[in-house]
Amino acid sequence: MNKVNPKATNTSKKPVDSKVKGWRHLVIAKKADLVLGLILILTILLYAMLMLTDQVPVPGLVALGITWLVYALIGGRLTFATPVDLPILGMLGLLPLSLSISMDWSLSLPKVYGLILGFVLFYLAVNTVRNYSRLQLAIWALILLGMGTAFLGLLTADWTRGRFTFVATIQQKLMGLLHLSSTIAETGEANVNTIGGALTFFVPCLGSLLWDGGAYDRKYLHAKQNRRLLRAVFYGLVGTAFLFILAVLILTQSRSAYLGCIIGLFALLIFKDRRFLWLILLLFVVSIIALTVLGHGDPFAFLTSLTSRGEITLQQRFHLWLETIGVIQDFPLTGGGIFTSGRLLQELYTFNLFPGASEYFNHAHNIFLSVAFDLGIPGLVLYAALLGSFGAMTFRNLRVGRSIIKVLIVGLACGMLAHLAFGLMDANNLGTKLGAVLWLFLGVNAAVYVHRHRFSVRRSMENHQRADEITQKPTRQLVKSRLLDLAIGSGLWVLISLAAVSFINFYPLVSITAAILGGGLLGVYVVKRFRSTTHKLRA
């Protein structure tokens, strides 16, 4: 009686099974990518509706949620985990509470919609940018987004004030050509400071791409037949976008945007070449001269001359900050309701920015105070954790990334720094219509960090890698570890928030500072724990 060797049988079937399995994974990966593309289209459409009407239809959000569940069913995971999951989930949990205590839903709902769509854009970036070819798409998307933001500013901002009134004439001609006059009239004109704050992201970012030492050329164009033409097109487009965005930012006359842009570009110079450190001395000398000439030796008068533009002076900002801190003291755990600070101050606190003022301001003109007002001290801790996570991921990406990654990450980091500097004297509130830029910067940085091991794969292996990266389902051990990370992070968030709140009635500045510092350290910790968990599971 002949016996069949089972080992020989299994060996003969392995190549066939492996080939079938590979094709199956490739089909699943393509389907998942198609669903991601559909989610992107839905998100863009909903964002466009938010821009035009200040509303997002609930059926649209439901359709977006269902489409994301389809992606989860195809790929076997809801999303790739990131170190930023805790701050995002925490903010998402605080939104219903903030909305429930809001005194004016017409002010709060658009910001809630904007935040939800921002979260979606963040996770779209994390799940899409998984290798070098996707990173190239992200670079082009950031370039086009920057140009689109600047062009949108030309169309929607109020250019009738200030020195550059000729821009209003250009605006009218553009709106006439595009037949948008009635639409802009219905939705209202955008604030030039809001436009300037959004553009602070892009000036250092595009500056880094423009000054990349040939990194883009070496990575993406070295094997192209028409390499010279493509190189000229890329750098020409980046240079044009950089100058266009910088020009629109200058036209806004936003002092806060100017300050942020200068700080971001200065940080970019230091990153690119340490020899530019001598500029610190030059800036110090220029500051002393300006203090003497413009402020007559008085620092307060000097700062007032820089911030006065006929809208709100530095002295008025200080007054507004003190009033906002007073409201935060009254609502330390919940905040006063997202984006209702102006109306709350005017109607419940009988607040006027200056004697005889007939209008109120919609935010505190400081991003940290605005977040604390909108979401309370716990929300401020989460926002600081976002920034801490961004900084920790940036540091890690710069250490392990290759040339094009370093160029992009430096640009993202300097752009974020520029926007934060802008936010010290002004603020683009959470959920603002142009807040998508913040979440895309966070998302691309997080994507490079989460998928950093995939960026070490050679180009010849990317096709095989692309088929496995979505279809590889997370193990139970991985899910348990990530849930444990979230639980520990949530506990620390509660402790930091309670510790910060305990000072709010006696030392409010100490309370707010503790929330910012504690949240920043929490962000660094969750990144470190995320990395440690990943290494343990791979070991």
* pLDDT tens track for 428-449: 888 888 889 999 999 999 999 9
The pLDDT value given to residue 183: 53
* pLDDT tens track for 363-416: 788 999 999 999 999 999 999 999 999 999 999 998 865 689 999 999 999 999
The domain locations on the chain are 77-538
Residue 405 corresponds to which tokens in the numbers above? Answer: 């990654």
Stretch among 20-34, 171-185, 270-284, 399-413 having the lowest mean pLDDT: 171-185
3-state secondary structure of 190: strand
Task: State in Å, rounded, how far the first CA of the chain is from the last one.
Answer: 47
What average pLDDT does the structure give for the chain?
A: 84
pTM, full prediction: 0.89
**What one-character-per-residue DSSP string does 191-249 give?**
PHHHHHHHHTTHHHHHHHHHTSTTHHIIIIITT-TTHHHHHHHHHHHHHHHHHHHHHHH
The count of other CB atoms within 10 Å of the CB of residue 411 is 29
CB contact at 8 A, 510 and 503 = yes
The pLDDT value given to residue 179: 61
The pLDDT value given to residue 431: 87
Phi, psi values for residue 3, rounded to 5°: -105, 140
CB contact at 8 A, 324 and 353 = no
DSSP code of 157? B
